[in-house]
Chain A
Amino acid sequence: MAEMKTIHVWASGLEETGGIQHYSACCVTAFRALFPEARIRVFSKNDVLGGAEIYAFGRLQGWQRTLAFVGSGLIWAVRERPDLIFATHPHFMKALAPLTRLGFPCLTAAHGIEVWGRLGGSMGWALRSATGVLPVSAFTQQVIHREAGVPLARMPVVADTFQEGQFCPGPRSAELMRRYGLVAGQPVILTVGRLSAAERYKGHDQVLRALPAMLKELPGLRYLIAGRGDDEARLRGLAAELGVAEHVTFAGFVPAEELADHYRLCDLYVMPSTGEGFGIVYLEALACGRPCLVGGEDASPEALDGGRLGFVVPARDSAAIAETVLRFFRQQHDRPWLHEPETLHREVVRLYGFAAFQRSLARALASLGVASADLLD
Protein backbone atom coordinates (compact mmCIF):
# COMPACT_ATOMS: atom_id res chain seq x y z
CA MET A 1 0.00 0.00 0.00
CA ALA A 2 1.38 3.41 -1.00
CA GLU A 3 2.66 5.68 1.73
CA MET A 4 0.32 8.48 2.86
CA LYS A 5 2.16 11.71 2.01
CA THR A 6 -0.58 14.33 1.71
CA ILE A 7 -4.10 14.52 3.18
CA HIS A 8 -6.64 17.26 2.56
CA VAL A 9 -9.48 17.69 5.04
CA TRP A 10 -12.60 19.64 4.04
CA ALA A 11 -14.32 20.73 7.24
CA SER A 12 -17.27 22.92 8.09
CA GLY A 13 -15.27 24.26 11.03
CA LEU A 14 -13.00 23.31 13.91
CA GLU A 15 -13.33 26.29 16.21
CA GLU A 16 -16.90 26.08 17.48
CA THR A 17 -18.23 23.62 20.06
CA GLY A 18 -20.87 21.76 18.01
CA GLY A 19 -20.88 18.00 17.37
CA ILE A 20 -19.68 18.11 13.74
CA GLN A 21 -16.99 20.67 14.63
CA HIS A 22 -15.69 18.40 17.35
CA TYR A 23 -15.82 15.44 14.98
CA SER A 24 -13.80 17.43 12.41
CA ALA A 25 -11.17 18.40 14.98
CA CYS A 26 -10.88 14.76 16.09
CA CYS A 27 -10.37 13.67 12.47
CA VAL A 28 -7.52 16.12 12.02
CA THR A 29 -5.88 15.05 15.29
CA ALA A 30 -6.29 11.36 14.38
CA PHE A 31 -4.79 11.85 10.92
CA ARG A 32 -1.81 13.62 12.48
CA ALA A 33 -1.28 10.72 14.89
CA LEU A 34 -1.80 7.97 12.30
CA PHE A 35 0.31 9.59 9.58
CA PRO A 36 2.97 11.62 11.41
CA GLU A 37 5.01 12.00 8.22
CA ALA A 38 2.12 13.26 6.08
CA ARG A 39 1.35 16.89 5.21
CA ILE A 40 -2.21 17.69 6.31
CA ARG A 41 -4.02 20.70 4.83
CA VAL A 42 -7.37 21.70 6.32
CA PHE A 43 -9.94 23.75 4.36
CA SER A 44 -12.38 25.10 6.90
CA LYS A 45 -15.50 26.76 5.58
CA ASN A 46 -16.76 28.54 8.69
CA ASP A 47 -13.69 29.19 10.83
CA VAL A 48 -12.29 32.67 11.07
CA LEU A 49 -8.80 32.30 12.46
CA GLY A 50 -7.02 29.72 10.31
CA GLY A 51 -3.41 28.79 11.02
CA ALA A 52 -0.50 26.77 9.74
CA GLU A 53 -1.89 24.85 6.76
CA ILE A 54 -5.45 25.63 7.93
CA TYR A 55 -7.27 27.70 5.34
CA ALA A 56 -10.28 29.46 6.92
CA PHE A 57 -13.04 31.18 4.93
CA GLY A 58 -15.35 32.35 7.74
CA ARG A 59 -14.64 36.04 7.13
CA LEU A 60 -16.45 35.86 3.78
CA GLN A 61 -20.23 35.92 3.47
CA GLY A 62 -22.82 33.80 1.59
CA TRP A 63 -21.95 32.41 -1.82
CA GLN A 64 -18.54 34.06 -1.76
CA ARG A 65 -17.56 31.93 1.20
CA THR A 66 -18.76 28.73 -0.48
CA LEU A 67 -17.05 29.61 -3.75
CA ALA A 68 -13.74 30.50 -2.11
CA PHE A 69 -13.84 27.37 0.07
CA VAL A 70 -14.64 24.97 -2.77
CA GLY A 71 -12.40 26.70 -5.32
CA SER A 72 -9.44 26.75 -2.99
CA GLY A 73 -9.89 23.09 -2.06
CA LEU A 74 -10.17 22.00 -5.68
CA ILE A 75 -7.17 24.04 -6.85
CA TRP A 76 -4.98 22.66 -4.07
CA ALA A 77 -6.20 19.13 -4.86
CA VAL A 78 -5.33 19.35 -8.56
CA ARG A 79 -2.01 21.01 -7.78
CA GLU A 80 -0.93 18.62 -5.03
CA ARG A 81 -2.72 15.32 -5.89
CA PRO A 82 -3.25 14.31 -2.23
CA ASP A 83 -3.32 10.62 -1.26
CA LEU A 84 -6.63 11.22 0.52
CA ILE A 85 -9.32 13.93 0.55
CA PHE A 86 -11.61 13.67 3.57
CA ALA A 87 -14.85 15.67 3.89
CA THR A 88 -16.24 15.88 7.42
CA HIS A 89 -19.66 16.92 6.08
CA PRO A 90 -21.39 15.02 3.23
CA HIS A 91 -22.50 18.22 1.45
CA PHE A 92 -18.89 18.80 0.41
CA MET A 93 -18.95 15.53 -1.50
CA LYS A 94 -21.04 17.22 -4.20
CA ALA A 95 -18.04 19.37 -5.08
CA LEU A 96 -15.60 16.51 -4.67
CA ALA A 97 -17.49 14.04 -6.88
CA PRO A 98 -15.71 15.10 -10.12
CA LEU A 99 -12.36 14.46 -8.44
CA THR A 100 -13.27 10.83 -7.67
CA ARG A 101 -13.86 10.37 -11.40
CA LEU A 102 -10.27 11.53 -11.95
CA GLY A 103 -9.00 8.89 -9.52
CA PHE A 104 -8.63 10.99 -6.35
CA PRO A 105 -9.58 8.92 -3.25
CA CYS A 106 -12.35 10.97 -1.60
CA LEU A 107 -14.07 9.95 1.63
CA THR A 108 -16.86 11.67 3.48
CA ALA A 109 -18.39 11.38 6.92
CA ALA A 110 -22.19 11.08 7.26
CA HIS A 111 -23.77 12.04 10.57
CA GLY A 112 -27.54 11.65 10.54
CA ILE A 113 -30.33 14.09 9.95
CA GLU A 114 -28.28 16.02 7.36
CA VAL A 115 -28.63 13.01 5.02
CA TRP A 116 -31.82 11.21 6.11
CA GLY A 117 -34.65 11.80 3.69
CA ARG A 118 -32.38 13.85 1.39
CA LEU A 119 -30.73 11.08 -0.53
CA GLY A 120 -32.86 11.05 -3.66
CA GLY A 121 -31.12 13.86 -5.59
CA SER A 122 -27.63 15.29 -5.74
CA MET A 123 -26.74 14.14 -2.21
CA GLY A 124 -27.41 10.50 -3.14
CA TRP A 125 -25.41 10.89 -6.35
CA ALA A 126 -22.51 12.50 -4.48
CA LEU A 127 -22.40 9.74 -1.86
CA ARG A 128 -22.51 7.06 -4.54
CA SER A 129 -19.53 8.64 -6.26
CA ALA A 130 -17.42 8.76 -3.07
CA THR A 131 -14.57 6.29 -2.65
CA GLY A 132 -16.05 5.60 0.76
CA VAL A 133 -18.63 6.99 3.17
CA LEU A 134 -18.00 6.84 6.92
CA PRO A 135 -21.40 6.92 8.68
CA VAL A 136 -21.30 7.62 12.42
CA SER A 137 -23.76 4.81 13.12
CA ALA A 138 -25.01 1.55 11.64
CA PHE A 139 -28.45 3.17 11.55
CA THR A 140 -27.26 5.98 9.25
CA GLN A 141 -25.34 3.39 7.23
CA GLN A 142 -28.56 1.42 6.66
CA VAL A 143 -30.48 4.58 5.68
CA ILE A 144 -27.84 5.57 3.09
CA HIS A 145 -27.68 2.03 1.77
CA ARG A 146 -31.44 1.80 1.45
CA GLU A 147 -32.12 5.26 0.07
CA ALA A 148 -29.00 6.02 -1.96
CA GLY A 149 -27.89 2.49 -2.86
CA VAL A 150 -24.32 2.92 -1.61
CA PRO A 151 -22.91 -0.62 -1.09
CA LEU A 152 -22.46 -1.55 2.58
CA ALA A 153 -18.86 -2.60 1.94
CA ARG A 154 -18.00 1.00 1.02
CA MET A 155 -19.48 2.35 4.26
CA PRO A 156 -17.48 1.27 7.33
CA VAL A 157 -19.02 2.76 10.46
CA VAL A 158 -16.83 5.14 12.48
CA ALA A 159 -18.81 5.90 15.61
CA ASP A 160 -19.02 9.43 16.90
CA THR A 161 -16.89 10.56 19.81
CA PHE A 162 -17.26 13.16 22.57
CA GLN A 163 -15.17 15.67 24.50
CA GLU A 164 -13.57 13.36 27.04
CA GLY A 165 -11.96 16.15 29.06
CA GLN A 166 -15.26 17.85 29.90
CA PHE A 167 -17.34 14.96 31.20
CA CYS A 168 -16.56 12.77 34.18
CA PRO A 169 -18.40 11.53 37.32
CA GLY A 170 -18.52 13.77 40.37
CA PRO A 171 -20.73 15.02 43.20
CA ARG A 172 -23.98 16.88 42.57
CA SER A 173 -23.43 20.64 42.40
CA ALA A 174 -24.83 22.29 45.54
CA GLU A 175 -25.36 25.50 43.58
CA LEU A 176 -27.56 23.74 40.99
CA MET A 177 -29.42 21.81 43.72
CA ARG A 178 -30.32 25.15 45.31
CA ARG A 179 -31.20 26.70 41.94
CA TYR A 180 -33.69 23.95 41.16
CA GLY A 181 -34.87 23.37 44.73
CA LEU A 182 -33.64 19.77 44.86
CA VAL A 183 -32.87 17.92 48.09
CA ALA A 184 -30.28 15.22 48.70
CA GLY A 185 -31.46 11.77 47.63
CA GLN A 186 -34.31 13.10 45.52
CA PRO A 187 -34.78 11.02 42.36
CA VAL A 188 -34.12 13.05 39.20
CA ILE A 189 -34.45 12.27 35.51
CA LEU A 190 -33.08 14.59 32.83
CA THR A 191 -33.41 15.41 29.13
CA VAL A 192 -31.04 17.80 27.36
CA GLY A 193 -31.98 19.09 23.92
CA ARG A 194 -33.50 21.83 21.84
CA LEU A 195 -37.26 22.35 22.40
CA SER A 196 -38.19 22.77 18.77
CA ALA A 197 -41.83 22.92 17.71
CA ALA A 198 -40.82 21.97 14.17
CA GLU A 199 -38.90 18.84 15.19
CA ARG A 200 -40.41 17.40 18.38
CA TYR A 201 -38.48 14.15 18.09
CA LYS A 202 -36.57 14.14 21.40
CA GLY A 203 -39.42 12.40 23.24
CA HIS A 204 -40.28 15.07 25.88
CA ASP A 205 -43.98 14.42 25.35
CA GLN A 206 -43.73 10.70 26.05
CA VAL A 207 -41.71 11.26 29.22
CA LEU A 208 -44.24 13.80 30.50
CA ARG A 209 -47.06 11.36 29.76
CA ALA A 210 -45.17 8.66 31.65
CA LEU A 211 -44.72 10.87 34.73
CA PRO A 212 -48.08 10.19 36.46
CA ALA A 213 -47.35 6.44 36.52
CA MET A 214 -43.83 7.06 37.82
CA LEU A 215 -45.04 9.44 40.53
CA LYS A 216 -47.35 6.82 42.00
CA GLU A 217 -44.28 4.91 43.14
CA LEU A 218 -41.74 7.77 43.29
CA PRO A 219 -43.71 10.77 44.60
CA GLY A 220 -40.54 12.89 44.98
CA LEU A 221 -39.41 12.40 41.38
CA ARG A 222 -38.28 15.49 39.45
CA TYR A 223 -38.06 15.74 35.66
CA LEU A 224 -35.45 18.30 34.62
CA ILE A 225 -35.72 19.60 31.05
CA ALA A 226 -32.59 21.42 29.90
CA GLY A 227 -32.68 23.39 26.66
CA ARG A 228 -34.69 26.18 25.16
CA GLY A 229 -36.85 26.61 22.11
CA ASP A 230 -40.21 27.57 20.71
CA ASP A 231 -41.92 24.41 22.00
CA GLU A 232 -41.40 25.23 25.70
CA ALA A 233 -44.80 26.86 26.25
CA ARG A 234 -46.63 23.88 24.79
CA LEU A 235 -44.63 21.45 26.95
CA ARG A 236 -45.38 23.52 30.06
CA GLY A 237 -49.06 23.40 29.10
CA LEU A 238 -48.89 19.63 28.69
CA ALA A 239 -47.23 19.24 32.11
CA ALA A 240 -50.01 21.30 33.69
CA GLU A 241 -52.71 19.38 31.84
CA LEU A 242 -51.28 16.12 33.11
CA GLY A 243 -51.13 17.52 36.65
CA VAL A 244 -47.38 17.02 36.96
CA ALA A 245 -46.19 20.64 36.58
CA GLU A 246 -44.72 20.82 40.08
CA HIS A 247 -42.53 17.80 39.26
CA VAL A 248 -41.13 19.31 36.06
CA THR A 249 -38.40 21.94 35.96
CA PHE A 250 -37.57 23.82 32.76
CA ALA A 251 -33.91 24.75 33.17
CA GLY A 252 -33.62 26.75 29.95
CA PHE A 253 -30.38 27.06 28.00
CA VAL A 254 -27.44 25.40 29.74
CA PRO A 255 -24.00 26.85 28.93
CA ALA A 256 -21.26 24.35 28.00
CA GLU A 257 -19.39 24.88 31.28
CA GLU A 258 -22.49 23.85 33.29
CA LEU A 259 -23.49 20.89 31.15
CA ALA A 260 -21.54 18.19 33.04
CA ASP A 261 -22.96 19.40 36.36
CA HIS A 262 -26.46 19.08 34.94
CA TYR A 263 -25.85 15.48 33.88
CA ARG A 264 -24.54 14.75 37.41
CA LEU A 265 -27.76 16.10 38.93
CA CYS A 266 -29.80 13.23 37.53
CA ASP A 267 -29.96 9.52 38.33
CA LEU A 268 -31.06 8.50 34.84
CA TYR A 269 -30.79 10.35 31.55
CA VAL A 270 -34.10 9.88 29.74
CA MET A 271 -34.49 10.75 26.06
CA PRO A 272 -36.67 8.38 24.00
CA SER A 273 -35.81 10.21 20.79
CA THR A 274 -36.81 9.10 17.32
CA GLY A 275 -34.35 11.17 15.30
CA GLU A 276 -30.79 10.67 16.55
CA GLY A 277 -28.09 10.03 13.97
CA PHE A 278 -25.93 8.91 16.85
CA GLY A 279 -26.64 10.81 20.09
CA ILE A 280 -23.55 12.45 21.55
CA VAL A 281 -25.63 13.61 24.55
CA TYR A 282 -25.89 9.97 25.62
CA LEU A 283 -22.10 9.65 25.56
CA GLU A 284 -21.79 12.79 27.66
CA ALA A 285 -24.32 11.54 30.22
CA LEU A 286 -22.59 8.15 30.41
CA ALA A 287 -19.21 9.84 30.80
CA CYS A 288 -20.68 11.66 33.81
CA GLY A 289 -21.63 8.24 35.16
CA ARG A 290 -25.34 8.36 34.35
CA PRO A 291 -27.07 5.51 32.46
CA CYS A 292 -29.55 6.36 29.70
CA LEU A 293 -33.03 5.36 28.64
CA VAL A 294 -33.39 5.64 24.84
CA GLY A 295 -35.84 4.75 22.10
CA GLY A 296 -35.29 1.90 19.68
CA GLU A 297 -36.31 3.61 16.44
CA ASP A 298 -33.14 5.52 15.58
CA ALA A 299 -29.39 5.20 16.20
CA SER A 300 -29.71 5.83 19.96
CA PRO A 301 -29.13 2.19 21.07
CA GLU A 302 -25.72 2.27 19.40
CA ALA A 303 -24.47 5.00 21.75
CA LEU A 304 -25.42 2.59 24.56
CA ASP A 305 -23.40 -0.21 22.93
CA GLY A 306 -26.58 -1.87 21.73
CA GLY A 307 -28.36 -1.24 25.05
CA ARG A 308 -25.70 -2.59 27.43
CA LEU A 309 -25.15 0.81 29.06
CA GLY A 310 -28.80 1.63 29.65
CA PHE A 311 -32.30 0.76 28.55
CA VAL A 312 -33.85 0.63 25.08
CA VAL A 313 -37.64 1.03 25.02
CA PRO A 314 -40.26 1.52 22.30
CA ALA A 315 -39.83 5.30 21.89
CA ARG A 316 -43.54 6.13 21.65
CA ASP A 317 -44.70 3.87 24.48
CA SER A 318 -45.17 5.95 27.66
CA ALA A 319 -46.19 2.89 29.70
CA ALA A 320 -42.95 1.12 28.79
CA ILE A 321 -40.95 4.26 29.63
CA ALA A 322 -42.59 4.51 33.07
CA GLU A 323 -42.12 0.82 33.79
CA THR A 324 -38.45 0.93 32.76
CA VAL A 325 -37.66 4.04 34.82
CA LEU A 326 -39.26 2.38 37.85
CA ARG A 327 -37.31 -0.83 37.24
CA PHE A 328 -34.13 1.25 37.25
CA PHE A 329 -34.92 2.95 40.56
CA ARG A 330 -36.01 -0.37 42.08
CA GLN A 331 -32.74 -1.88 40.80
CA GLN A 332 -34.88 -4.62 39.29
CA HIS A 333 -32.58 -5.48 36.40
CA ASP A 334 -29.55 -7.61 35.61
CA ARG A 335 -26.99 -4.83 35.15
CA PRO A 336 -25.50 -3.66 38.44
CA TRP A 337 -22.95 -1.53 36.55
CA LEU A 338 -25.71 0.95 35.67
CA HIS A 339 -25.45 2.17 39.26
CA GLU A 340 -21.63 2.46 39.12
CA PRO A 341 -20.65 5.87 37.67
CA GLU A 342 -16.96 4.99 37.35
CA THR A 343 -17.76 1.83 35.40
CA LEU A 344 -20.00 3.71 32.98
CA HIS A 345 -17.33 6.38 32.54
CA ARG A 346 -14.64 3.78 31.89
CA GLU A 347 -16.79 1.91 29.37
CA VAL A 348 -17.86 4.98 27.40
CA VAL A 349 -14.26 6.23 27.19
CA ARG A 350 -13.10 2.78 26.09
CA LEU A 351 -15.76 2.51 23.38
CA TYR A 352 -16.24 6.09 22.25
CA GLY A 353 -13.26 8.07 23.54
CA PHE A 354 -10.69 9.57 21.21
CA ALA A 355 -8.43 6.47 21.19
CA ALA A 356 -11.37 4.30 20.09
CA PHE A 357 -12.29 6.86 17.44
CA GLN A 358 -8.76 6.89 16.05
CA ARG A 359 -8.65 3.09 15.99
CA SER A 360 -12.01 2.94 14.27
CA LEU A 361 -10.95 5.52 11.67
CA ALA A 362 -7.77 3.56 10.94
CA ARG A 363 -9.78 0.35 10.54
CA ALA A 364 -12.18 2.08 8.16
CA LEU A 365 -9.29 3.39 6.03
CA ALA A 366 -7.81 -0.14 5.95
CA SER A 367 -11.09 -1.78 4.95
CA LEU A 368 -11.51 0.73 2.10
CA GLY A 369 -7.98 0.00 0.90
CA VAL A 370 -6.84 3.58 1.53
CA ALA A 371 -4.33 2.66 4.25
CA SER A 372 -2.70 -0.46 5.71
CA ALA A 373 -4.17 -2.45 8.63
CA ASP A 374 -0.71 -2.31 10.26
CA LEU A 375 -1.39 1.33 11.20
CA LEU A 376 -2.47 0.30 14.69
CA ASP A 377 0.50 -1.92 15.53
Chain B
Amino acid sequence: MRSLAGSPWFGTARKRRGVVPQMSIAPEEVRKVALLARLLLSEDEVAEMATQLSRILAYMEVLRSVDTSQVEPMAHPLELVNVFRDDKVRPGLAREEALKNAPKHDGECYLVPAVLGPV
Protein backbone atom coordinates (compact mmCIF):
# COMPACT_ATOMS: atom_id res chain seq x y z
CA MET B 1 0.00 0.00 0.00
CA ARG B 2 1.11 3.53 -0.72
CA SER B 3 2.47 5.34 2.27
CA LEU B 4 0.22 7.86 3.92
CA ALA B 5 3.15 9.98 4.99
CA GLY B 6 3.96 11.39 1.54
CA SER B 7 1.02 13.10 -0.08
CA PRO B 8 -2.21 12.13 1.61
CA TRP B 9 -5.42 13.99 0.97
CA PHE B 10 -5.03 16.89 3.25
CA GLY B 11 -1.31 16.99 3.97
CA THR B 12 -0.54 18.80 0.76
CA ALA B 13 -2.80 21.72 1.55
CA ARG B 14 -1.76 21.90 5.16
CA LYS B 15 1.89 21.88 4.26
CA ARG B 16 1.40 24.62 1.74
CA ARG B 17 -0.74 26.79 3.93
CA GLY B 18 2.27 28.03 5.86
CA VAL B 19 4.44 28.97 2.91
CA VAL B 20 4.10 31.92 0.56
CA PRO B 21 2.55 30.53 -2.63
CA GLN B 22 4.93 30.68 -5.60
CA MET B 23 1.99 31.18 -7.90
CA SER B 24 0.65 34.61 -7.18
CA ILE B 25 -1.69 36.64 -9.30
CA ALA B 26 -1.33 40.39 -9.60
CA PRO B 27 -4.37 42.71 -9.39
CA GLU B 28 -3.88 43.72 -13.06
CA GLU B 29 -4.20 40.07 -14.03
CA VAL B 30 -7.37 39.71 -11.96
CA ARG B 31 -8.85 42.74 -13.75
CA LYS B 32 -7.92 41.27 -17.14
CA VAL B 33 -9.54 37.92 -16.29
CA ALA B 34 -12.61 39.70 -14.89
CA LEU B 35 -13.07 41.45 -18.25
CA LEU B 36 -12.68 38.15 -20.13
CA ALA B 37 -15.24 36.59 -17.75
CA ARG B 38 -17.56 39.60 -18.15
CA LEU B 39 -17.50 40.25 -14.41
CA LEU B 40 -17.07 43.62 -12.75
CA LEU B 41 -15.12 43.64 -9.49
CA SER B 42 -14.65 46.49 -7.04
CA GLU B 43 -11.07 47.26 -6.03
CA ASP B 44 -11.65 45.44 -2.71
CA GLU B 45 -12.94 42.42 -4.58
CA VAL B 46 -9.93 42.53 -6.93
CA ALA B 47 -7.57 42.39 -3.94
CA GLU B 48 -9.52 39.60 -2.25
CA MET B 49 -9.78 37.61 -5.47
CA ALA B 50 -6.01 37.97 -6.06
CA THR B 51 -5.28 36.51 -2.62
CA GLN B 52 -7.81 33.68 -2.89
CA LEU B 53 -6.94 32.67 -6.45
CA SER B 54 -3.23 32.71 -5.62
CA ARG B 55 -3.80 30.35 -2.74
CA ILE B 56 -6.07 28.03 -4.74
CA LEU B 57 -3.64 27.98 -7.69
CA ALA B 58 -0.74 27.25 -5.34
CA TYR B 59 -2.64 24.12 -4.31
CA MET B 60 -3.19 23.24 -7.99
CA GLU B 61 0.58 23.03 -8.44
CA VAL B 62 0.25 19.45 -7.17
CA LEU B 63 -0.98 18.56 -10.68
CA ARG B 64 2.55 19.12 -11.98
CA SER B 65 4.00 16.53 -9.65
CA VAL B 66 3.11 13.78 -12.11
CA ASP B 67 4.68 13.10 -15.49
CA THR B 68 1.95 13.24 -18.13
CA SER B 69 4.13 13.48 -21.23
CA GLN B 70 2.81 10.13 -22.48
CA VAL B 71 -0.83 10.67 -21.43
CA GLU B 72 -3.64 11.67 -23.76
CA PRO B 73 -5.95 14.31 -22.28
CA MET B 74 -9.46 13.11 -21.36
CA ALA B 75 -12.12 15.70 -22.08
CA HIS B 76 -15.19 13.60 -21.46
CA PRO B 77 -16.06 10.34 -19.72
CA LEU B 78 -17.87 8.82 -22.69
CA GLU B 79 -15.57 10.00 -25.49
CA LEU B 80 -18.43 9.89 -27.95
CA VAL B 81 -18.02 11.09 -31.49
CA ASN B 82 -20.66 12.86 -33.56
CA VAL B 83 -24.07 11.87 -32.28
CA PHE B 84 -26.45 12.86 -35.07
CA ARG B 85 -30.19 13.17 -35.08
CA ASP B 86 -32.42 12.89 -38.13
CA ASP B 87 -32.52 16.08 -40.16
CA LYS B 88 -36.26 16.62 -39.75
CA VAL B 89 -38.21 19.82 -39.34
CA ARG B 90 -39.86 20.02 -35.93
CA PRO B 91 -41.40 22.80 -33.90
CA GLY B 92 -39.00 24.98 -31.94
CA LEU B 93 -39.62 27.29 -29.01
CA ALA B 94 -42.35 29.83 -29.83
CA ARG B 95 -41.13 33.44 -29.90
CA GLU B 96 -43.46 34.39 -27.08
CA GLU B 97 -42.01 31.61 -24.92
CA ALA B 98 -38.45 32.55 -25.83
CA LEU B 99 -39.03 36.17 -24.87
CA LYS B 100 -41.05 35.63 -21.71
CA ASN B 101 -38.04 35.59 -19.38
CA ALA B 102 -36.19 38.42 -21.11
CA PRO B 103 -35.63 41.49 -18.93
CA LYS B 104 -36.31 43.81 -21.89
CA HIS B 105 -37.92 43.09 -25.24
CA ASP B 106 -40.30 44.67 -27.73
CA GLY B 107 -42.38 41.58 -28.46
CA GLU B 108 -40.12 40.59 -31.35
CA CYS B 109 -36.53 41.17 -30.28
CA TYR B 110 -34.37 41.34 -27.17
CA LEU B 111 -33.43 44.95 -26.42
CA VAL B 112 -29.90 45.96 -25.45
CA PRO B 113 -28.00 49.24 -25.05
CA ALA B 114 -25.94 50.63 -27.94
CA VAL B 115 -23.61 47.87 -29.04
CA LEU B 116 -21.08 50.11 -30.83
CA GLY B 117 -20.53 52.36 -27.84
CA PRO B 118 -21.09 56.10 -27.48
CA VAL B 119 -21.34 58.07 -30.71
Partners in one complex: no
Instruction: Report A's interface with B, CB cutoff 8 A.
Output: none
